[in-house]
Amino acid sequence: MGFGDSANAMKDKKIDAFFVTAGTPTTAVMELASTNPVKILSIDEEHMKALCEQYPYYSEYTIASDVYSGMDSDVKTLAVKAAFIVNPDLDEELVYNMTKALFEQKDAITQGNSKGAELDVNNAVKNVSIPFHPGAVKYYKEVGVME
């Protein structure tokens, strides 16, 4: 089920739990938490470490206690990064400029979507399990986050 259907099924007591792989805040979870008691579960350090070792595209993530109604503490969990996927044949200079704009226009992006505040070039090359386009590599080397 999708997020909305899962939240509705939980409201209707058809399911007891569901997984969400999405950025926070997620609308379906916000709506569910505003009308129903929910508990967002943390992943313990031992299992988090084991999962990150087995699946290098996972990274540790904290959901702050003020994200959803009813939370009384931060929640430690795992995340997967959003990826900007391009055709490998795309012009190197175009991809370089796209990558540069993504990080150098962070404030403008954040005005349109609060998740933009999480853009951090220092984390851009960590926990990525697919190859980088040469245009992106050029930018990441230029700013010193890739050798």
Decide if pLDDT at 102 tops 90: yes
Q: For the residues 107-115, what does the mean pLDDT come to? A: 89
Long-range Cβ contacts of 87-91 (<8 Å, 24+ apart): 88/133, 90/133, 90/135, 91/135
Task: Supply the pTM of this predicted model.
Answer: 0.75
Asked if residue 85 is part of any domain, the answer here is no
- For 3-29, what is each residue's pLDDT tens digit? 899 999 999 999 999 999 888 889 999
Report the number of distinct structural domains present in the chain: 2
- Give residue 83's pLDDT band: very low, low, confident or very high (50, 70, 90): confident
Do 11 and 39 reside in the same domain of the chain?
yes
Which of 33, 50, 80 delimits the end of a domain? 80
- Structural domain boundaries enclosing 118: 92-142
Query: How far is 126 from 57, CA to CA, in rounded Å?
Result: 8
Do 38 and 99 reside in the same domain of the chain?
no
Contact 95, 133 (CB under 8 A): yes
Decide if pLDDT at 120 tops 90: yes
Asked if residue 12 is part of any domain, the answer here is yes
**Predicted pLDDT of residue 113:** 84
**Predicted pLDDT of residue 69:** 93
**Predicted pLDDT of residue 142:** 97
Tokens (6 digits) for 120: 């951090």
Domain CATH for 71:
3.40.190.10
